[in-house]
Structure 1
Amino acid sequence: MTDKLTLLQFRTTEEVPNFSPFCVKAEVLLKMAGISYNIEDIDDPRGMPKGKAPVVRDGNELIADSEFIKGHIETAKGFTFDAHLSAEEKAQCHAFTKLIDERLYWALVYDRWIDENNWPHTKEFWFGSMPFPLKHIVPGVALKSVKQNLNGHGIGRHTHDEIHALAKSDLDAIAAQLGDKPFLFGDKPSTADASAYGVLVNLAQTTALPAKLADTIKEYPSLLEYVKRCNEHWYPGKYH
């Protein structure tokens, strides 16, 4: 493992660390492990090993997907995530991570790409700078791919109200687990916090890529305060 890794991710923003929750998650994992890293912005992830971001470059090796980045850090760096948790808490931490990564995240994707009020913002952000005629062709192709992914996942087969109800139940669970603790499992952040923060900061602080869930999270003052704590913990003085 090289002394300094490179995190390849979508371009950063002034509102949130990244509009991709998984890019936020990957960077937070690097921060949690105390690893020195550079950031390299990419616009088109199709050239990446799995056709998506984030990716970590370690020497000549490319590690794709935030979960495999986590595994690489543990194996190659010798850092153990969640060492402060009991076996039961580690199981709960894993379950919350999957709840966030595998359902709440997809509800956010649905809001951004499928909701007719939000799609124009998503289209402009990701494709507005493309030259003619690509800016008129690529968005439709990308939208078709997102719809296929949502339907393949299963969440895209539901109505918007049904998806919103599912997402709200996820937010209920996260808020209940958080309670009055600084982080999801106590005074010290866990890998579940890396996932939670990635999605929640995009709901609480994003106006460039709005989502219906951004209104819903306002019903959870504890989660809004949680996002502020995470901001200061991992990006002190940068995001508000």
Structure 2
Amino acid sequence: MAAGDSVLIGLVEEALSMHVDSEWHEAKLYTPFFKDQAQLYEFADCLAVQTFLRMAQLPVQTKQRPNTEFISPTGEMPVLQIGSILIPGFSGIVDLVRKKEAGLSSHLTEVHKADMAAQIAVIDNILRRVEMYVVWIHDETYSRVTSTRFGSVYKWPLSRVLPALKRREMREKLGSIDWANKSLVEVMEAADKAFRCLSSHLGTQDYVMGSRVTEVDALLFGHLFAILTTRLPTMELSNALRKYPNLVEYCERVENEYFKK
């Protein structure tokens, strides 16, 4: 871990500890523009946080901003603002809520918490990387969708230059974990493995950990919904998901419960 990263993580942890007992007053959630700017995995993460806060019955004002990535102390999105403190990313926001004793998994045993962490790892370490690969590495998706969306908030020539620079950055990031040089076939095999694991664990339960929602339900819903509703030049990821009817039905059930009411 780089020294700069550890400093940022320390600042976030300090902010969490300082605001455990503070009032949830005029909380704001900053996201990129969903319609024109957010990439697949960013939309999924932002929707996951919105869902989690609804499940925890914590009101928040969502504000779409073109520079959310730069508002974030770590570059993670979305960003929750409580007073003058900014908390980035799904895990950071979940940690804050848990420390405020408003989390969703306090009823779980330690064994079940470890099981939940394993399901979260499948989403973060496989499914999210699949989404990032499709967005930044798959040539047709990058040229027809990604570069336009990323550059939409900038004027020319930045609208052409910055997407290319971001693609180089993402190639290096995915390359560091041996994902950049995978073929699309290999990536879809990884996606299918993740869906199969999640589908098997869910089974016929209402929610991932049983009859009550937990943090993993918010994260899973965010990614499933984003995959099912985002139009891309290659629909292989969406088609792979649709092979698991219980995941599709689960996504529809959570949407009806927390958004259509």
If the length of structure 1 is used for normalisation, what is the TM-score? 0.89
Match of 2:118 in 1: 95
Match of 2:29 in 1: 7
- How many equivalent residue pairs? 234
Distance change (3 Å), C-alpha of 1:109 and 1:166: same
| Letter paired with 1:123 | S
Identity among equivalent pairs (%): 20
Separation in 2 of the partners of 1:192 and 1:39?
21
Separation in 2 of the partners of 1:208 and 1:139?
17
Match of 1:156 in 2: 180
Q: Which residue of 2, 22, 40 maps to 2:45?
A: 22
Match of 1:117 in 2: 140
Q: Which runs of 5+ in 1 are unaligned?
A: none
Match of 1:228 in 2: 252
**Residue 78, structure 1, aligned to residue 78, structure 2:** no
Let me know the Cα RMSD of the aligned residues: 2.1
| Letter paired with 1:51 | G
Q: Out of 150-159 and 59-68, give the one that drifted further.
A: 150-159
Distance change (3 Å), C-alpha of 1:118 and 1:223: same
**Residue 43, structure 1, aligned to residue 66, structure 2:** yes
Task: State the SS of the aligned residue for 2:124.
Answer: helix
Separation in 2 of the partners of 1:60 and 1:211?
41
Separation in 1 of the partners of 2:101 and 2:233?
37
Match of 2:54 in 1: 31
| Letter paired with 1:137 | V
Separation in 2 of the partners of 1:213 and 1:206?
10
Separation in 1 of the partners of 2:220 and 2:258?
13
Deviation at 1:51, TM superposition (A): 2.0
Deviations 1:46-105 (A, max 9, x none): 232112311110001111121111111122x32132123232221110110011012211
Match of 2:206 in 1: 182
Separation in 1 of the partners of 2:258 and 2:209?
17
Q: Out of 200-209 and 102-111, give the one that drifted further.
A: 200-209
Separation in 2 of the partners of 1:209 and 1:38?
33
Deviations 1:126-174 (A, max 9, x none): 2235321111111101111111111123322322222211121110000
Contact 2:41 2:223 in 1 (8 A): no
Separation in 2 of the partners of 1:208 and 1:36?
32
Task: State the SS of the aligned residue for 2:207.
Answer: coil
| Letter paired with 1:114 | I
Contact 2:42 2:77 in 1 (8 A): no
Separation in 2 of the partners of 1:72 and 1:92?
21
| Letter paired with 1:83 | S
If the length of structure 2 is used for normalisation, what is the TM-score? 0.82
Q: Which runs of 5+ in 2 are unaligned?
A: 1-21
Distance change (3 Å), C-alpha of 1:209 and 1:35: farther
Contact 1:184 1:192 in 2 (8 A): yes
